[in-house]
Structure 1
Amino acid sequence: MTAVAARALALPGVPRRVVESGEPLHGRYAGRIDEIDWSTLEGAYSRSCLWRRLHHKRWQYVGIGSSEVYVGMAIVDLGWSVTAFAYVFDRLRKRVMADWAQDGLPGLSGGVSDQPVQGAEARFRGPGATLSLRHEAGDIMSLKVKTPVMAMQVEMALGQCAPFLLAVGPIEGGVVHATQKSSALPVRGWVEVEDERWDLTQAVACLDSSNGLLARDTAWRWACAHSPEVGFNLQQGYFGGQENVLWLKGELIPLGAAHFEFDAQQPMAPWHIRTDDGLLDLVFQPEGARSDDRDMLIAASHYVQPVGTFHGTVRRTQGSAPVHVEGLLGVTEDHRSRW
């Protein structure tokens, strides 16, 4: 066992499955799980087949950032629909260069597998667009995107990063949720908008593989930023503090509840984000943002995801010296969905 892996055991290793004896195995774990399967839930956690069909949500999100550009991509399987988006934000010009989104039919247009990393597959196909995220030989995650406004081909090395987080927990108004998240992943590839191409060899990526039986109305605030030395994932909302963690020099450290102080009417103003255990206290300065505001009666999405940099301090423990964070690239998000 490597020194990094040994330190990660401050969190228990991942279980073989997310359900045991009919009940979800709530908790935070270090490592990668093969599959997120809710089919054996029993008792208070069981639901009808129709309810599961309408409330089972899976998604794969990839964020890739460099000194020049930030790229976000997601494929979301809603059970009764499938949707995808991709965008490119130019950090030098401070503007979104490409922004694409499309909806489709489940199965026909694509879907997301129950394998979050090992054996993972997410795909979307629609008019003029194909997207795929697939785990391949050599422990590589391959991402390919082709839309009318952008194209991208990327490989992310999964074995060259700090331990993944697996979080499993209850959902208010739903049943249960699980998410598998990475810290900084080395990247090889490129992204292209019209005649301009950005080399992503110096970029880092993060993966968010989520799978749950969620409420019809779901809301959250989220913050995520990564470098090889320090990274974090924070959420306030539907999942409580289950997925709040800090990666510090390869160590995976659980964090307390997150607090987001910002003006929802002016999301480009600075955000103050902290955890109640005192281990993280950061100010986020947005550079630009992608947003979406759709209401289709049966479904709705109100969403803003600013891109920018974090400044402040993080700590390994309450008694340890602060580690100063300056110019750490990442995103925040304010999101409300009816799905």
Structure 2
Amino acid sequence: MSVASSEPWSVSLLSPPSSVVMDGEPAMGRYAGCIDTIDWRALRGTWRRSALWTRLHHKRWQYVGVAHAHWFIGVAIVDVGWCMSSFVYVFDRRSQKVVLDWTQDGLPGWSGGVTDQPVTGGAARFKGLGAALSIVTEGHVIAVRVKTRRLQLRCDLSWHQAPPFLLAVGPVDQGLVHATQKSPGLPVVGEFVLDGERHALHGALGSLDSSNGLLARDTAWRWACAHDRRLGFNLQEGYFGNQENVLWLDGTLIPLGAAKFAFDPLRPLSPWRVQTDDGLLDLHFRPEGARQADRNLVVAASYYIQPVGTFHGVVRARPGGPVVSVDGLLGVTEDHRSRW
């Protein structure tokens, strides 16, 4: 990655509010930093719904992606209110294949849960048949633990002295509301054992997506995320608008405009293009392979594809600012539709 100019810049976001609800209303906006709890119980007026409705529509999840020169690992624990789901996959970049794809469903409480603490003190746990997964923050370390029949993963993501996390709070479809915390690239220490073979994760970077909202039964989005030690971004097109679109550059968190994803849904492993309407990001994505799932359980359904690959193009910290070239930045895109 090369930089056309070393000119300094500064773009700032406000610090997070004390609560995602202020005076009965969502504290809408993008903020730089972490909030202790995402708690919607103080919503009032048109934002207020019945306890049963809230139970069925309250969605929480924690997702960690770990990017390494040879591997990409995705781990997720999802609580959709009336059921739970979890998955872990391992993508081998050398063979360009998903070499492990494990998923399991369960019941909230019985199988585990996802707390309302997104980062500080946050915990997501799932226990199922022959498996246990957890994403737990202990101090400034996000500890990821996975044990399945074929895979044992232990890795820690350190956010000590990390650039600021994004907190986004905003409206979604049907007058509902959502909040998310997204991390910059975080150094990883750890290893995994797959089918009896041990692999170190030296030099890997990880990122956290901790989300919590009151969402419509049918929800869809496209997403892109990639990081190295200097640059990273998070982009979403869909139910949450441009609320979570940001760029991290040299430790600064920079808000981006609306994202546009151009790709062929019938050929998702062909190249993608991702842009923002403020001209600050224009990237091409070259998929290497993908995890994909298409499930229809009558009462619920999900179509999901998450290609792994590299981004190439340019970003800027401000309109007309110096160009930063991006070449071979490892990350993922996603096309996701859920009935939950």
User: Normalising by structure 1, what TM-score?
Assistant: 0.96
8 Å CA contact retained: 2:11, 2:252 = no
The correspondence of residues 39-54 of structure 1 with structure 2, limited to 5 A, is 39-54=41-56
Q: Aligned partners of 1:183, 1:55: CA distance in 2, in Å? A: 28
**Which residue matches 1:73?**
75
8 Å CA contact retained: 2:47, 2:175 = no
Q: Aligned partners of 2:46, 2:137: CA distance in 1, in Å? A: 34
**Which residue matches 1:312?**
313
Residue by residue over 1:32-83, the C-alpha shift from the partner in whole angstroms, topping out at 9 and shown as x without a partner, is: 1000000000001000001000000000000000101000000000110011
**Which residue matches 2:266?**
265
In percent, how many aligned pairs have the same letter?
A: 60
**Which residue matches 2:36?**
34
In the alignment, structure 2 segments of 5+ residues that lack a partner are 1-8
Counterpart amino acid of residue 207 in structure 2: C
- Counterpart pick for 2:106 among 96, 104, 107: 104
Offset at residue 173 of structure 1 (A): 2.2
Q: Aligned partners of 1:308, 1:44: CA distance in 2, in Å? A: 42
Offset at residue 325 of structure 1 (A): 0.1
**3-state SS of paired residue (1:235):** strand
**3-state SS of paired residue (1:10):** coil
Q: Aligned partners of 1:183, 1:201: CA distance in 2, in Å? A: 18
The size of the alignment, in residue pairs, is 332
8 Å CA contact retained: 2:313, 2:327 = yes
**3-state SS of paired residue (2:319):** coil
**Which residue matches 1:83?**
85
Q: Aligned partners of 1:272, 1:240: CA distance in 2, in Å? A: 18
**Which residue matches 1:13?**
15
Distance 1:329 1:260, change over 3 A: same
8 Å CA contact retained: 1:291, 1:303 = yes
Residue by residue over 1:209-240, the C-alpha shift from the partner in whole angstroms, topping out at 9 and shown as x without a partner, is: 00000000000000000011110000000000
The correspondence of residues 71-220 of structure 1 with structure 2, limited to 5 A, is 71-137=73-139, 139-173=140-174, 175-220=176-221
Query: What is the root-mean-square deviation of aligned Cα atoms in Å?
Result: 1.0
**Which residue matches 1:279?**
280
**Which residue matches 1:329?**
330
8 Å CA contact retained: 2:36, 2:120 = yes
Offset at residue 9 of structure 1 (A): 6.6
8 Å CA contact retained: 1:97, 1:193 = no
Counterpart amino acid of residue 268 in structure 1: L
**3-state SS of paired residue (1:259):** strand
8 Å CA contact retained: 2:35, 2:118 = yes
